[in-house]
Amino acid sequence: MNPLLVFLCFIGGMFLLAFAVKKITGAKAYYVETFPLESGERVLWEDSAADAYPIAKRRALYVSYRRSRRARVRVTNLRIIAGAKALLRSEHMVLHVLYPSDRQFPEQAHELGGGLLTVGYQAFVFERTSAVEQATDKPYYIELKLDPNVDSSINLSTYRIYTDAIAAFRLPE
């Protein structure tokens, strides 16, 4: 068999499987630039050259995260919306939405996948009082401790937002 033909069939099969999952679950792609804000929600801070990563509880001792500056983070008065640049697009696809634990957060945060297969992004819940800014050495980042009692962060300990505009960063009110 021709290896190129096998590879193309494999890629085509992945696209068909993704299309079927999308139709069955109703997941949709949202973009940070056009993400619908709730009534009364307003943008407090935004960085189009940030990076955001969830950090696993059990990980290698030495881990480095590349600053690709392909992500966008938007902080509103209710939540934090983080996305990465989509392939061959100029918009940033929403990957994670973080809610403070002292506020109302959606039901999908109680699911193991955080809503990835139902709404198209993962919902995490962070503890507002545990936010730590690391602004002494580059890379600058904000570290948010994820709520261990919420199922979406069962294997995650923290969420880091790498940004050069750390001085202007604000948490949701």
Here the CATH number for the domain that contains residue 117 is 2.30.29
Question: Any idea what the Cα angle at residue 94 is, between residues 89 and 96, rounded to 5°?
Answer: 150
**Phi, psi of 27, rounded to the nearest 5 degrees:** -65, 145
What pLDDT is recorded for position 90? 87
The band of 113, judged by pLDDT with boundaries at 50, 70 and 90, is confident
pLDDT at 99 over 90: yes
Q: Which residues form the domain of 40?
A: 31-168
Residue 75, H or E segment: strand 71-76
What pLDDT is recorded for position 107? 86
Residues 145 and 90 in one domain: yes
pLDDT at 64 over 70: no
Domain total of the chain: 2
Residues 146 and 127 in one domain: yes
Residues 7 and 57 in one domain: no
173 inside domain: no
Name the residue type at position 111: E
5 inside domain: yes
Give the mean pLDDT of 77-91: 91
Residues 122 and 42 in one domain: yes
Residue of 121, 116, 119 lying closest to 97 (CA atoms): 121
Beta strands in 111-168 (DSSP E): 122-126, 132-134, 141-145, 156-162
Asked if residues 161 and 144 have their Cβ atoms less than 8 Å apart, the reply is: yes
Residues 20 and 93 in one domain: no
Residues 105 and 40 in one domain: yes
Give the mean pLDDT of 115-142: 86
What pLDDT is recorded for position 66? 65
Give the mean pLDDT of 69-83: 92
Phi-psi region of 51 (alpha: psi -120 to 50; beta: other; left: phi over 0): beta
Residues 8 and 89 in one domain: no
Residues 15 and 44 in one domain: no
What pLDDT is recorded for position 65? 64
CA dist 163 and 161 (Å) reads: 6
Residues 36 and 113 in one domain: yes
Average pLDDT, the chain: 88
Q: Among 2-6, 36-40, 87-91, 109-113, whose mean pLDDT is lowest?
A: 109-113
7 inside domain: yes
